[in-house]
Amino acid sequence: MLRLQLSVVALVMAGVLAGCASTEEDKTAAWSPNKLYAEAKDELAAGAYDRAIPLFEKLEGRAAGTPLAQQAQLEKAYAQWKANQQPEAMATLDRFMKLHPASPAYDYALYLKGLVNFNDNLGLLSFLSRQDLSERDQKAAKESFEAFKELVAKYPDSKYAPDSRVRMAYIVNSLAQYEVHVARFYYSRGAYVAAINRAQSAIAEYRDVPALEEALGILMRSYDALGMAKLASDTRRVLEKSYPQSAWLGGTGSGPGATQKPWWKLW
């Protein structure tokens, strides 16, 4: 009787295991690389990034050593980026660039690498949150800039180069504005020496960006607050020459801590 019971249990367990195995069966096992790619692209186009990513991963393995495998890597990185998986997208792109330094799609890999960080910290739609881009962590912004810079330097005629140059200018402006944001913070709290240091940093590191007008204004007023009349006067002359219509010169315009529309907001 005991043997019979054990046999029944064994059969039940075998049935359960068989059922699990059948549910985990890879339905793509018999698909050709081209079919796998087509299905992955369809999922990508539909915005189903969570389903597209594993399909591209399968394609990488099945088409290993072919241009299609390289394409799958790039498509996977794009899907990861769109799925807000920035670290995974960066890892995929770094792996692609390490394995395929001579790839004709290397410029696109650099462009996508720049976009991943650009979107993460400098997204053009961030106006919806009403947060000044200059108030965010700048690490990703600098990494984004370096990717675009490498693209423009190595592939000046790439179709991605013009947009990369525009984004580089945008990032530089944001980085300069970040320094001014910190200087404004210090000035508003009476930490004039710290405000001077940050304003000077912006002036020394950046050229021809809108934020420099405010940097000079903060610098001038900080010197004045510390009783450093000569330095305040010298800074005023620079401000008058560079921005003759600046509201900072009249003393009644916008100042540190004032609510201003950021330079990059066009609406």
Within a domain: 89:
no
CATH number of the domain enclosing 188: 1.25.40
| Alpha-carbon dihedral 201, 204, 208, 211, rounded to 10 degrees | 10
Within a domain: 147:
no
Q: Single out the residue in 64, 84, 104 at which a domain terminates.
A: 84
pLDDT band at 264 (very low <50, low <70, confident <90, very high): very low
Please give the average per-residue pLDDT across 239-252, as a whole number.
85
pLDDT band at 20 (very low <50, low <70, confident <90, very high): low
Q: Single out the residue in 23, 55, 84 at which a domain terminates.
A: 84
Our count of domains for the chain comes to 2
Domain that holds residue 57: 31-84
Percent of the chain clearing pLDDT 90 (strictly above): 64
Query: CA-CA distances (angstroms) from residue 220 to 153, 256, 262?
Result: 38, 12, 21
- pLDDT tens-digit readout, 202-211: 999 998 889 9
Within a domain: 199:
yes
The one-letter amino acid code at 79 reads: A
Lowest mean pLDDT among 99-103, 161-165, 175-179, 229-233: 175-179
Q: How many CB atoms lie within 10 A of CB 80?
A: 23
Q: How many CB atoms lie within 10 A of CB 12?
A: 10
Within a domain: 11:
no
If 0-12 CB within 10 Å is exposed, 13-18 middle and 19+ buried, where does residue 25 land? exposed
Please give the average per-residue pLDDT across 6-22, as a whole number.
51
Closest CA to 209 of 251, 243, 260, 235: 243
Contacts of 134 (CB under 8 A, 6+ apart): 174, 175, 177, 178, 180, 181, 211, 262
Within a domain: 189:
yes
Within a domain: 110:
no
Within a domain: 114:
no
Closest CA to 168 of 193, 184, 145, 202: 145
Q: CA 167 to CA 147: how far, in whole Å? A: 11
Q: Quick one: pLDDT at residue 2?
A: 47
Q: Quick one: pLDDT at residue 22?
A: 47
pLDDT band at 141 (very low <50, low <70, confident <90, very high): confident
Within a domain: 104:
no
Report whether 235 contacts 219 (CB < 8 A): yes
pLDDT band at 140 (very low <50, low <70, confident <90, very high): confident
